[in-house]
Amino acid sequence: MNSREKFLETMDFNPKATPNKWEFGIWGATVERWYKEGLIKNNYPRVPTNIINTTTSLYTAVWTRDWQKSKTSFEKIYKEPEREIKLPKGIATMAGGLYWPTQGFPLDNDIKEYFNLDSCQRIVCAEQFIYPDFEVKILREDEKYIDYIDIDGATRRFSKSQQVLPGGLDWLVKDWDSWNKLKEERLSLDNIKERLPDNWAELVEEYKNRDYPLAVGGYPNGLFGSLTHLIGYENLFLFYYDYPDLVKDILTRLTDIWIALWEEIMADVEIDLCNIWEDISAGKGSMISPQTFKEFLSPFYKKICSFVKGKGVKVIFVDTDGDCNELIPLFMEAGVTGLYPMEVSAGMDIVAVRKKYPNLQMMGGIPKSDIALGKKRIDEFLEPVKWVLKQGGYIPFGDHFIPPEVPWEEFKYYRNKLNNMIDNLSK
């Protein structure tokens, strides 16, 4: 079976299915280390440089800009589809479990080829958030930082030394006036078809002949996640109490746009899953209370899930890091069918979750940092994975991007053993 067939059969809990061989992703610094330690460099990751939409291209400006040379223009990023640059420390290469394209991240090739991993799941090409996008603009630059406006209109700071995802400085929505202006100018329901790319007909033909799972949604599209991009995390927590009607109005508009756009997409293309990005959990649990979830998120999740299920889509995944134990029943009640990456370091136990929720689809759940601890520890944490695999509805991989402290030799031992477990699952 190809990657798409494996995914659909696995998520349908087919006992004879062979789960996809994927990783969530690998940090750029990790990939560079592995090249030095023995990974053959046949096809170095090439960073996408063409700004397409917010899902595909958010942060592209700072990844691809030659920021070591001052006053380099952003103009060139609009004219090249991809190019080879030294991977920034904070960029990640996509390896299947996290969809591609997203956030300007490159697609891995050499690790995929070495371990015979399956083709990466992909996000349909369409503008699902801000439209039209904002123009990238540098506000301030020195030897340490770049402060700039990104294509979603947020003002961010990029650290030249750390090279990680830029942090937010300022946000678009501050009150009703700023929201109404944004809604009218860049979140309209009157230009839905314009959100499809100019080469949509060509893409439709590719999608119809694909061998990979294809999704709608993706970063930064979510009922909590998108609000953090419009309002900011700290501001959002206050908005729930100070401006509840404003928050609901934002969610109403976003939901209506997604459903209208997905209706257009699904008229031409069969979609395999819906990916909703939230990152709503932290190390100690949910960032919002169950009461807040039920009031602000549940009604919109029910509307979205009802729509996509009505279109024959059986897989609705929520991407959230952290401890999401208390949110699982709330997500499932609202229609969500699966969660990932099941972060072990934050307290997620895939065995316990599977026993409590036998019908929940899952991905991830392997302690990424523990790979560095050697063969004995790898053997220990893979043992319960074998049991969960036999229950179905599960694709195992590291519970986030593989960090640079993981040596190539230890990763090889872990990945080869996991691949063997998957290959022998039906024996």
pLDDT at position 69: 46
Dihedral angle sign, alpha carbons of residues 382, 384, 387, 388: negative
Predicted local distance difference test score (pLDDT) of residue 84: 76
Of residues 76, 81, 85, the one with CA closest to residue 44: 85
Do 172 and 134 touch, CB atoms closer than 8 A?
no
| Gap between the Cα atoms of 135 and 174, Å rounded | 20
Alpha helical stretches, state H, 187-232 = 200-208, 225-230
Half-sphere exposure of 408 (CA within 13 A, CB side): 15
Structure tokens that stand for 302 in this block: 């029910």
The pLDDT of residue 51? 87
Q: Which two tokens stand for residue 362?
A: 């899952």
As given in the structure block, the two tokens for residue 317 are 């995944």
Query: In the Cβ-directed half-sphere of 124, how many Cα atoms lie within 13 Å?
Result: 33
Confidence (pLDDT) at 23: 98
Output the pLDDT for position 75.
47
Residue 64 confidence (pLDDT)? 76
One pLDDT digit (tens) per residue for the chain, 427 residues = 999 999 999 999 998 899 999 999 999 999 999 999 999 999 999 988 888 999 999 999 888 765 444 444 444 444 556 767 788 888 999 999 999 999 999 999 999 999 999 999 999 999 999 999 999 999 998 889 999 999 999 999 999 889 899 999 999 999 999 999 999 999 999 999 999 999 999 999 999 999 999 999 999 999 999 999 999 999 999 999 999 999 999 999 999 999 999 999 999 999 999 999 999 999 989 999 999 999 999 999 999 999 999 999 999 999 999 999 999 999 999 999 999 999 999 999 999 999 999 999 999 999 999 999 999 999 999 999 999 999 999 999 999 999 999 999 999 999 999 999 999 987 6
How far is it, in rounded angstroms, from Cα 72 to Cα 63?
Answer: 13
Helix-strand-coil percent breakdown of the chain, rounded to 5? Answer: 45, 15, 40
β-pairing, 281-282 vs 137-141, is unpaired
How large is the greatest C-alpha to C-alpha distance in the chain, in angstroms?
62
Q: What residue segments make up the domains of the chain, in order of their start? A: 3-423
> Residue 427's pLDDT is what?
67
Whole-number pLDDT of residue 73: 47
Query: What CATH topology corresponds to 3-423?
Result: TIM Barrel (3.20.20)
Contact 18, 422 (CB under 8 A): yes
Which pTM does this prediction carry?
Answer: 0.95
**Alpha carbon distance 360, 348 (integer Å):** 14
Locate 77 and state its tokens: 């990023």
